[in-house]
Amino acid sequence: MIAAIRCVLRRDLLLALRRPSDVATALLFFVIVASLFPLGVGAEPNQLRAIAPGVIWVSALLSSMLSLARLFAADHADGTLEQMLLGAAPLGAVAAAKVLAHWLVAGLPLVAIAPVIALQYDMPVPLYGTLALSLLLGTPVLSFIGAIGAALTLGLRGGGVLLALLVLPLYVPVLIFGAGSVDMAAAGLSALGQLQLLAALLVVSAAFAPWAIATALRISME
């Protein structure tokens, strides 16, 4: 099973490196969306600091959704997904490896660039660590939840719209805890509670989401 996970992870990362436009699209979308808000709401520093956590988190959430529709689509089109279903490795482990590869390609770059985006909102430097940590804990949860929706809508006409309708309501707790942790830190209070809730969501999603994804894939392939 470990060998299968390593193989799937390596394969998906190599495929992503061969399609750098997919990686750049999500990253540029994040930068553009987050950069448009100061132009729309004005350049008043206090107002920008107040909306910064929510804007950055919403931008990251929307950016992570861009590549969800392609998470299983290519494997479904060329028959690789059928081989994964018939393989000896547990499908849940394979799904976990694909979600991890998706996060490394689409989520981790957002975590790295978020402090740079925060400069546009005049966010205090001590808050950068809380912002990065909240995204580091929250974006994998977005990938796990989004992968369930991607598996359920695999092969459906108009699946992209249906995928958004399925996963956006489930993203709300992650958004609240992620942006709330930065707001708490900005108010001089401890953000530990929100970060612990994000960590709990990550543990639960990592434990149960792969098997939900496997079940959804089997349903979609039947």
pLDDT tens readout for residues 144-169: 999 998 888 887 776 677 888 888 99
Residues 6+ apart with CB under 8 A from 65: 142, 146, 163, 164, 167
* Confidence at residue 182, expressed as pLDDT on a 0 to 100 scale: 92
Helices 127-152, 108-119: inter-axial angle, 10-degree rounding: 140
Q: What angle do CA 156, 145, 6 make, to 5 degrees?
A: 95
Q: What is the mean pLDDT of the chain?
A: 86
Pick left, alpha or beta for residue 39 (phi over 0 → left; psi -120 to 50 → alpha; otherwise beta).
alpha
Percent of the chain whose pLDDT exceeds 70: 99
Q: What angle do CA 196, 214, 27 make, to 5 degrees?
A: 60
Encode pLDDT of 97-124 as tens digits. 889 988 998 889 899 999 889 888 888 8
Are the CB atoms for 213 and 151 separated by under 8 Å? yes
Are the CB atoms for 128 and 165 separated by under 8 Å? no
* Confidence at residue 16, expressed as pLDDT on a 0 to 100 scale: 81
Residue 52, pLDDT > 80, answer yes
What confidence tier does 179 reach under pLDDT thresholds 50, 70, 90? very high
